[in-house]
Amino acid sequence: MKNKPSRFSEDIHLLYNFINMNAGEDLSTFIHCTPSEKSAKLIMEEGLIFENYLTHTSDYVSGTDLVELNYFRLIRRSYGDYTIVIQIDDKLIQYLNRKIRNTPFHFSEVLSKRLPDNLNKESTLYQLPEQFILGYFDHIHNRGIKNPRFDPYYHPSFFEKNLQKLLNYHTNQNSHE
């Protein structure tokens, strides 16, 4: 009896395995495609620069659904053959969401390595720390490259400073209305 062939390409199965190397942990997973291995390495070493919210530059995925991974691979293929995998502790996201409830901010803004000087611009750039980058998947050579600095539970003191700055900004904006 022959095995039924998979309807997904080998790279999707390998990407699935790469994403799920931390299976069983409560992590939120995002993917971002980039055109060159040089840019993938740079993101892994320095973090991901994103505009406004993390989900403006990356896609939230369950990581456990081959159909979903295949779908995002197909629609994002034009962005490049290197998939950056981002994983963040769910408890950290929930904590930040509770703190910024009733504000216009997104948890990913708090996670930035640096906050912009001018928060009321329409387009604002942030930088997600490299510790949240699991690594990248190279679809050309079907291999995952793991970030040695990966730590989905990373929570430095500057997150709390960012949080306070955003909350103060929100309070000041509301007091001027």
- Each residue of 118-128: pLDDT tens digit? 666 667 889 99
pLDDT per residue as tens digits for the range 22-32: 877 899 999 99
- Distances 73 to 138, 142, 144, 163, 171 between C-alpha atoms, Å: 12, 13, 15, 34, 41
Q: Is the pLDDT reported for residue 177 higher than 60?
A: no
Is 51 or 146 the better-scoring residue by pLDDT?
A: 146
Is residue 63 left, alpha or beta, with left meaning phi > 0 and alpha meaning psi from -120 to 50? left
Q: Domain extents for the chain? A: 10-175
Average pLDDT over residues 120-142: 90
Count of beta carbons in the 10 Å neighbourhood of residue 69: 23
Mean model confidence pLDDT for the chain: 90
The pLDDT assigned to 164 comes to: 94
* Bridge partners, 50 (sequence order): 126
pTM for the complete prediction? 0.89
The closest alpha carbon to 137, from 70, 80, 82, belongs to 82
